[in-house]
Amino acid sequence: MTGKKILEIQNVKREFVMGDQIVRALKGVSFDVNAGEFLTIMGSSGSGKTTLLNMLGCLDKPTEGSYILDGVNVKELSRDQLARMRNTKIGFVFQAYNLLPRTTALENVELPLLYNPTISTKERKERAIAALKAVKLDDRFDHTPNQLSGGQQQRVAIARALVNEPVMILADEATGNLDTRTSYEIMSLMQELNQNGKTIIFVTHEPDIASFTNRTVMLKDGRVLKDTANPNPRSAKTALAELPVSDDY
Amino acid sequence: MKILNLIKLAIRALQRNKLRALLTMLGIIIGVASVITMMSIGEGSKQSINASLASMGSNMITIQPYSNEPGGARIMGSSLKTLTIRDVEAIQKNAPDVALISPLASSGGQSINGANNWPTTIQGVSPDYLEIRKVVVKEGIMFSDQEVRSFAKVCLLGKTVVDNLFPNGDDPIGKVIRFGKTPFQVIGVLVPKGTSNFGQDQDDIIIAPYTTVQKRIQSTIYFGSIYASAITESASDAAVTQISAILRDTHHLRDNQDNDFQVRTQAELMTMMNSTSSMMTALLTAVASISLLIGGIGIMNIMYVSVTERTREIGLRMSIGARGIDILLQFLIEAVMISITGGVIGVLLGITAAIVIPSMLNWPTVISESSIVISFMVCAITGIFFGYYPALKASRLDPIEALHYE
């Protein structure tokens, strides 16, 4: 399953100045991602995976090296141009969902499109509805986050990541707050989206989650330790079916 | 983000914290309401002063005795004895810009009609007085120059005097009343003028020939004051100059001597009265503006709290593509919404106060459009000014830190 290159990371370094010390979070990371891949970035804490994620999500820029996202060199972009990249090319899914409280599911999903002036009110609504249908929440448009379960909230967040039709979805420990069954449900949804052509990068420290994806990049001490393909990922749907019922109380 | 969406967003954010928004607005509401109320009271008193001065005749000139002798006891101008009928005649003859002139010999006392009596003031004048002071005869006639010369014991009554001396509603014309010991035949009744600006009942008077008042009641040849009118309002200043020159001559004043009289025009009086009320208005408005300032500081405070509370929301918005300017506008518009909503409520309250005050306190008020426009604009500017720094702080947050803010 390979398409055109959408991510090119060349010897990326990121250094932070903390007082009089320089912390090297990334010491030269290189890998490419092709369209249609379902990739896991793994690593223990302190391996630089959060720094790499921020970089991939255009929230941060490399100190050295080059990061080319969909043909654009991110290092040369201004603050506003970075915002534009996040708005059009990336869909974020966070561990804590980060939905706006007291705001309906539909409005939460519409949010990224509000920051894109080329999209009309009508189109915004249609696309938000389509995105919620894609995550199988078409009966929950008017529910606010506190009326939704954790898994449903995360699905709203995934719909929000899909709505701007990004070149990749970037998930940061997206199953970290969920129980096993709900995690598998989310992974099943992710696999389905991937089969429909979405590029997904999943950052996690759980090897269990990585087994559902078709490639794993392992980070350690700011460098790539391993980059392994997984030609036969587990099916989350099957795993879900195999879960003992007692697990669900 | 489009402005319309930003406005919707701000309305929504305020609706979520209704009480907080209302409390924040309170400073602005009080400020705007008091600015509008104060300005309408000021404008109202100014207009009523002007109207009442104009009703006295805008080209009226007042001449009063005046002493500026250094040392010694100062005495009230009107009790000085300098103005006589010679002065009146000299002015009449020699001042071309003076149209009408009348002396005023005024004396307080008891008026009596049978069993009814009433303390009032008798004004000894010449027939021109009516025209100068814009007094109109309602029934009967004014006395003539002939009657002035013959010390006729005739008089005209103001409404208050009529009401008190003729409580049964009898027609006073033709009746004989007494003022002190002197009998006067009533030949006319005056059109009521109401209460003057200074709280004086302008209908509590009896008008009689000055000769009669001077001889029968005051036993003097001096006048408390002289009223004149210039041929036109613009000729007032020329008339004043002429009068001063004539009086200096008749009073035999040497060049190094000060005037022993004072000549004033209505215009001067108007400026004098207005300067007092303008000063009061300015002072009250300044106090009200301070509360507007405090309201603005309240907005700034609450916006800082709001930005801190919603740091994660800001982080999220940035991570899905909001630019700094989008966040800046979001919070700025929220601040402006608070101040403008407060402003609207304040304007409505101020207008209500301006409408209610006249009926409660009997103060005249005039709502000036300019005060509404100005306070509204000040509100919007307050919102922008005090909302800008919190909004700027929000727009400069680092998205990574904001997303993980606890």
- With beta carbons less than 8 A apart as the criterion, state whether A94 and A203 touch: no
DSSP run (H or E) holding B332: helix B324-361
Helix (H) or strand (E) holding A34: strand A21-34
| Ordered domains of chain A (ranges, CATH) | 38-63+85-248 (3.40.50.300)
Rounded to whole angstroms, the Cα distance separating A174 from A160 reads 13
Using the beta-carbon criterion (under 8 Å), do A115 and B399 form an inter-chain contact? no
Mean pLDDT of A171-193: 90
Task: Write down the pLDDT at residue B289.
Answer: 79
Q: B9, B318, B319: best mutation site toward chain A, by most A Cβ within 10 Å?
A: B319
Point out the domain boundary residue: B259, B289, B317.
Answer: B259
- Please give the interface size between A and B, counted as residue pairs whose CB atoms are below 8 Å apart: 59
- B84 plus B226 within the same structural domain: yes
Q: Which of A135-144, B191-200, B261-270 has the highest mean pLDDT?
A: A135-144
Residues B103 and B201 in one domain: yes
Whether B341 and B249 share a structural domain: no
How much is the pLDDT for A59? 92
Distance from CA of B308 to the nearest CA of A (A): 15
Q: Is the same domain home to B316 and B244? A: no
A134/A189 Cα distance (integer angstroms): 9
In a domain, B46, yes or no: yes
What pLDDT digit, counting tens, does each position of B290-309 carry? 888 888 899 999 999 999 99
Residue B405: per-residue pLDDT: 86
* Per-residue model confidence (pLDDT) at position A1: 44
Mutation to test the B interface, candidates A52, A82, A85, A87, most B Cβ within 10 Å: A87
The answer to whether residues B20 and B134 belong to one domain is no
Q: Answer with the residue of higher pLDDT: B56 or B49.
A: B49
Structural domain includes residue B95: yes
Residue B54, helix vs strand vs coil: helix
Q: Would you mind telling me the total number of residues written for chain B in this entry?
A: 406
Q: What is the pLDDT of residue B13?
A: 86
Longest Cα pair distance anywhere in chain A, in angstroms?
Answer: 55
Q: Do A86 and B313 touch (CB under 8 A)?
A: no
Query: Which of A81, A98, A125, A167 would best serve as a mutation to test chain B binding (most B beta carbons within 10 A)?
Result: A98
Residue A159 has pLDDT above 50, yes or no: yes
| Among B149, B151, B148, CA closest to B129 | B148
Domain boundary among B217, B236, B259: B259
Q: What is the pLDDT of residues A98-149, one digit of tens each?
A: 999 889 999 999 999 999 989 999 999 999 999 999 998 988 899 999 999 9
| B61 falls within a domain | no
- A181 pLDDT higher than 60: yes
Q: Which residues of A touch B316 (CB under 8 A)?
A: 94, 98, 100
Spatial distance between the Cα atoms of B290 and B301, rounded to a whole number of angstroms: 17
Enumerate the residues of chain A whose CB falls inside 8 A of the CB of residue B333.
Answer: none
Q: Under an 8 A CB cutoff, do B399 and A59 touch?
A: yes
Q: Looking at the partner chain, which of A57, A88, A98 has a beta carbon nearest the beta carbon of B316? A: A98
pLDDT, tens digit, 9 for 90 and up, residues A50-106: 899 999 999 999 999 999 999 999 999 999 999 999 999 999 999 989 999 889 999
Same domain (yes/no): B8, B140: no
- What does the mean pLDDT of chain B come to? 86
Residues B318 and B252 in one domain: no
Using CB atoms, which residue from A60, A83, A92 is nearest to B322? A83
- End-to-end C-alpha distance for chain B, whole angstroms: 27
User: Is B162 inside any structural domain?
Assistant: yes
Nearest CA in chain B to A107: B9
> Above 80 in pLDDT, residue B273?
no
pLDDT level of residue A166 (50, 70, 90 thresholds) = very high
Q: Does one domain contain both B198 and B254? A: yes
Helix (H, G, I), strand (E, B), or coil: what is residue A216?
Answer: strand
Residue B265 lies in a domain: no
Pairing of strands B98-113, B60-65: unpaired
**For residue B75, pLDDT beyond 70:** no
SS (H, E, C) B208-228: EEHHHHHHHHHCCCCCCEEEE
CA–CA separation, B406 and A247 (whole Å): 32
Higher pLDDT: B43 or B53? It is B43
Residue B177 located in a structural domain: yes
B217 close to B206: Cβ distance less than 8 angstroms? no
Which residues of B touch chain A, with CB atoms under 8 Å apart? 1-2, 5, 16, 312-313, 315-326, 399-400, 403
**A interface mutation test: which of B320, B323, B326 has the most A CBs within 10 A?**
B320
pLDDT given for residue A105 in this prediction: 94
- Percentage of the residues of chain A whose pLDDT score is greater than 90: 66
Nearest-angstrom CA–CA distance, B46 and B159: 27
pLDDT computed for residue B270 by the predictor: 75
Distance from CA of B303 to the nearest CA of A (A): 19
Whether residues B235 and B185 fall in one domain: yes
pTM of the shown model = 0.73
Lowest-pLDDT range of A197-201, B270-274, B336-340: B270-274
**H helix intervals, B56-108:** 85-94
- Give the pairing of strands B176-179 and B182-190: antiparallel
Taking the C-alpha atoms of residue B350 and residue B328, their distance in angstroms, rounded to an integer, is 32
Domain that holds residue B121: 67-259
**Nearest Cα residue to A168 out of A205, A133, A197:** A197
Q: Which of B2, B5, B319 lies nearest to residue A92, judging by beta carbons?
A: B319
Distances (CA, A) of B73 to A211, B69, B262: 112, 9, 18
Instruction: Flag whether B267 is in a domain.
Output: no
How many residues can be counted in chain A?
249
Structure confidence at residue B4 (pLDDT):
85
Mean pLDDT of B133-160: 91
* Ramachandran area for residue A129 (φ above 0: left; ψ -120 to 50: alpha; else beta): alpha
B102-137 pLDDT, tens digit per residue, is 999 998 999 999 888 899 999 999 999 988 888 889
Alpha-carbon gap: A243 to the closest alpha carbon of chain B (Å): 33
Which of B58, B54, B56, B61 is CA-nearest to residue B240?
B61
Q: Is the pLDDT of residue A150 over 50?
A: yes
pLDDT exceeds 80 at position B52: no
Q: Which of B103-117, B199-213, B224-238, B270-284 has the lowest mean pLDDT?
A: B270-284
CA A10/CA A30 separation, integer angstroms:
5
The pLDDT confidence band at residue B374, using thresholds 50, 70 and 90, is confident
Buried b (16+ CB within 10 A) or exposed e, A154-187: bbbbbbbbbbbebbbbbbbbbbbbbeeebbbbbb
- Give pLDDT, residue A67: 93
What residues in B contact A98, CB-CB < 8 Å?
312, 315-316, 403
Alpha-carbon gap, residue A191 to B106, rounded angstroms = 108
Average of per-residue pLDDT across B7-30? 89
For residues B124 and B229, membership in a common domain is answered with yes
Residues of A in contact with B324 (CB under 8 A): 79-80, 83
In this structure, the strands spanning B205-209 and B154-157 are antiparallel
Chain B residue numbers with beta carbons less than 8 Å from the beta carbon of A116 are: 321
Considering the domain architecture, whether residues B251 and B304 belong to the same structural domain is answered as no
Is B132 among the domain residues?
Answer: yes
- Residues near B108 by Cβ (< 8 Å), separated by ≥ 6? B119, B120, B121, B122
Same-domain check for residues B46 and B117: no
Number of domains composing chain B: 2
pLDDT the model gives residue B80: 64
